[in-house]
Amino acid sequence: NYRTQIESYIKVHPKFRTSLQPLDVEAQAPPIIQEMISAAKRVGVGPFAAVAGAIAEYVGKELLQFSPEVIVENGGDIFVVSRRSRVFGIYAGNSPLTGKIALKIEASQMPCGVCTSSGSVGHSLSFGRTDAAIVMAKSTTFADACATALGNKVFRASDIPVGLKFAENTEGVDGAVIIVREEIGAWGNVEFVKTAPG
């Protein structure tokens, strides 16, 4: 349903798919489209930077009609509502930290979006070189757009503080993690769990 809404909108507004800059919101656009455009505009990226998070969030909210606990993962972008804490492993490509640490999200933080962008893993476009740029926010759509914007700002490990300052100064971000090779930085309401020795 939501993919069809997005594809139908692209047929009439092809720039929605290709623009790397924020676009203006059209009042007649479906809510998922409006939210993607608004989220992207807040952090200065194109609206498609929010597509995976938006689909995860909108599907997840529909599923809440049938279950009080829902986790939807869509290519590294997660919508989660749970009655207990949940632990999410971090995949950061060839970084030696991959598989060794995870994020613990408390029930009190939910509903929550946990979204990851990468300049070294996957097919999504990133102008930076992070192995993982992770953002946590109440809105999964916004977390996805923000993770892209965050990843775009980090080209080397020495840029991690710049990225974390961006996260700190962006309203609506609850926490952020940046991994570049063996270096890691975090800001906000972030709790790590060790998952492997080393």
H or E stretch covering 184: strand 183-188
pLDDT value, residue 120: 56
Owner of token pair 């999410």:
88
Specify whether the CB–CB gap between 157 and 95 falls below 8 A: no
Helix (H, G, I), strand (E, B) or coil at 135: strand
What pLDDT was estimated at residue 129? Answer: 73
* Whole-number pLDDT of residue 189: 94
Which SS3 state, helix, strand or coil, does residue 21 take?
coil
The 10 Å Cβ neighbour count of residue 193 is 13
Among candidate residues 4, 138, 131, 1, the one with its CA nearest the CA of residue 79:
138
Number of Cβ atoms within 10 Å of the Cβ of 198: 8
Q: Look at the pTM and tell me if it is higher than 0.85.
A: yes
* Sequential pLDDT tens for the chain (198 residues): 999 999 999 999 999 998 889 999 888 899 999 999 999 999 999 999 999 999 999 999 999 999 999 999 998 899 999 999 999 999 988 899 998 999 999 999 999 999 999 865 655 655 567 899 999 999 999 999 999 999 999 999 999 999 999 999 999 999 999 999 999 999 999 999 988 665
pLDDT at 167: 97
Looking at residue 128, its amino acid is G
- pLDDT reported for residue 125: 54
Strands 77-81 and 192-194: unpaired
Structure tokens of 97? 């930290």
Count helices and strands (H / E) in the chain.
6, 9
